[in-house]
């Protein structure tokens, strides 16, 4: 049994047909976790769809009515890059409810993983890049509305920049921090150009491949624009730097970690060069930083388009393993009844 919960529903499957986005990955991750005895049935919580009131904390009434009525324009549907159907709307509502549940549960257990979600390209008024609704923005706003948290941080390690997240939450009050462009000194991230100052109520960090979708990258509180082919060592150094910098500037009550599997070297939509082992170390680094600062962390999965789907599934399952290792109760810790 894991020392935290996983959120999953068989209805997380996205009915998008033959697609580079393997929507069966959620089921395959759950099966792998059970088969390898990393998790058992009792570790899983079943989500409910996000309420319309919660969805409207992030999205415009017009966007929602278009989704509910099926009245997206052909251009809007094209931009979403997934075929519209009412069933697809239901699936995104369920992933969003899963992120709300995972955020609530993280406040209780220090960590919770939604085996879904991470739809960071959804904007308040439109969807794009396989994302219809911004699940973890909905979760943050829902918890804030109920007074459960006031300040949150997003840590987005998908290979693609979190443009929807940045558009929804804006940047720190003192302006964006763009980590300096790649200087050719691997492993030695620079501090030049960093500005310090309190953020607004949500501090956004995105580490991504600069030369990739989205072309237009609205400013996050910290954007780390990585060069093509960036490998494990350099990536982990930049992540460490961004986390330290973010947590120096801002004290969140919840971290939303977007654990994209697409920085993997064999990803079809990514141009970074991380190994499966490097990606697990990435997860450990985020969990260790959150734990060291005593900040609960909820996880969403986001993208993953490896040549072999079993690699995408292994990378996501490793995120659960990494959390289990970091959040393992200390040996000899008393068990409470
Ligand atoms: Zn991605």
At residue 152's C-alpha, the angle toward residues 149 and 154, to 5°, is: 150
Cα 82 to averaged position of ligand 1 atoms, centre (Å): 14
List strands edge to edge, sheet with 297-300.
Answer: 44-45, 5-7, 111-114, 297-300, 254-258, 152-156, 202-209, 222-226, 177-178
> Which residue from 313, 304, 16 is spatially nearest to 160, judged by alpha carbons?
304
Ranges assigned E (strand) in 180-296: 202-209, 222-226, 254-258
Cα 273 to averaged position of ligand 1 atoms, centre (Å): 14
pLDDT score of 179: 64
pLDDT score of 334: 61
Cα 239 to averaged position of ligand 1 atoms, centre (Å): 17
Residue 106: HSE in the Cβ half-sphere, 13 Å Cα cutoff: 34
Cα 274 to averaged position of ligand 1 atoms, centre (Å): 14
> Which residue from 258, 9, 37, 226 is spatially nearest to 137, judged by alpha carbons?
258
Cα 257 to averaged position of ligand 1 atoms, centre (Å): 14
Answer whether the bond into residue 216 is a cis peptide, omega within 30°.
no
- Is the entire prediction scored with pTM above 0.85? yes
Q: 48-87: buried (b, 16+ CB within 10 Å) or exposed (e) per residue? A: ebbeeebbbbbbeeebbebbeeeebeeebeeebbbebeee
Cα 336 to averaged position of ligand 1 atoms, centre (Å): 40
Cα 19 to averaged position of ligand 1 atoms, centre (Å): 14
Cα 262 to averaged position of ligand 1 atoms, centre (Å): 6
Cα 225 to averaged position of ligand 1 atoms, centre (Å): 14
CA 192 to each of CA 182, 205, 254, 299: distance values in angstroms, whole numbers, following the listed order: 12, 17, 28, 30
pLDDT in tens, the chain (337 residues): 999 999 999 999 999 999 999 999 999 999 999 999 999 999 999 999 999 999 999 999 999 999 999 999 999 999 999 999 999 999 999 999 999 999 999 999 999 999 999 999 999 999 999 999 999 999 999 999 999 999 999 999 999 999 999 999 986 544 566 665 443 333 333 343 333 333 489 999 999 999 999 999 999 999 999 999 999 999 999 999 999 999 999 999 999 999 999 999 999 999 999 999 999 999 999 999 999 999 999 999 999 999 999 999 999 999 999 999 999 987 776 655 5
Cα torsion angle, 131, 219, 149, 102, sign: positive
Cα 260 to averaged position of ligand 1 atoms, centre (Å): 6
Per the CB < 8 A criterion, the answer to whether 164 and 79 are in contact is no
Cα 268 to averaged position of ligand 1 atoms, centre (Å): 10
CB atoms within 10 A of CB 187: 9
User: Under DSSP, is residue 231 helix (H, G, I), strand (E, B) or coil?
Assistant: strand
């Amino acid at each position: 049994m894991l020392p935290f919960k996983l959120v999953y529903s068989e209805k997380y499957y996205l009915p998008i047909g033959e697609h580079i986005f393997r929507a069966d990955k959620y089921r395959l991750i759950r099966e792998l976790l059970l088969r390898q005895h990393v998790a058992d049935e009792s570790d899983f919580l079943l989500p409910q769809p996000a309420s319309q009131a919660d969805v409207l904390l992030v999205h415009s009434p017009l966007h929602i009515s278009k989704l509910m009525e099926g009245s997206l324009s052909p251009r809007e549907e094209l931009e979403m890059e997934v075929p519209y159907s009412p069933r697809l709307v239901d699936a995104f509502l369920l992933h969003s409810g899963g992120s709300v549940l995972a955020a609530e549960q993280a406040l209780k257990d220090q960590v919770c993983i939604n085996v879904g979600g991470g739809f960071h390209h959804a904007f308040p008024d439109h969807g794009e890049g396989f994302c219809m609704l911004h699940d973890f923005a909905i979760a943050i706003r829902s918890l804030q509305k109920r007074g459960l948290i006031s300040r949150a941080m997003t840590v987005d390690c998908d290979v693609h920049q979190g443009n929807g997240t940045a558009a929804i939450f804006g940047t720190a009050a003192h302006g964006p921090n763009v980590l300096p462009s790649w200087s050719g000194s691997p492993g030695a991230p620079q501090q030049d150009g960093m500005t310090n100052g309190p953020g607004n109520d949500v501090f956004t960090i995105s580490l991504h491949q600069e030369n990739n979708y989205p072309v237009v990258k609205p400013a996050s509180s910290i954007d780390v624009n990585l060069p093509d082919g960036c490998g494990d060592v350099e990536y982990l150094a930049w992540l460490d730097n961004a986390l330290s910098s973010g947590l120096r500037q801002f004290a969140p009550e919840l971290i939303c970690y977007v654990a994209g599997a697409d920085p993997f070297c064999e990803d079809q939509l990514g141009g970074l060069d991380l190994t499966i082992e490097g990606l697990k170390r990435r997860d450990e680094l985020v969990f260790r930083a959150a734990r060291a600062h005593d900040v609960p962390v909820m996880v969403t999965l986001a993208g993953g388009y490896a040549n072999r789907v079993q690699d995408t599934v292994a990378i996501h399952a490793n995120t659960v393993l990494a959390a289990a290792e970091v959040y393992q109760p200390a040996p000899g810790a008393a068990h409470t009844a």
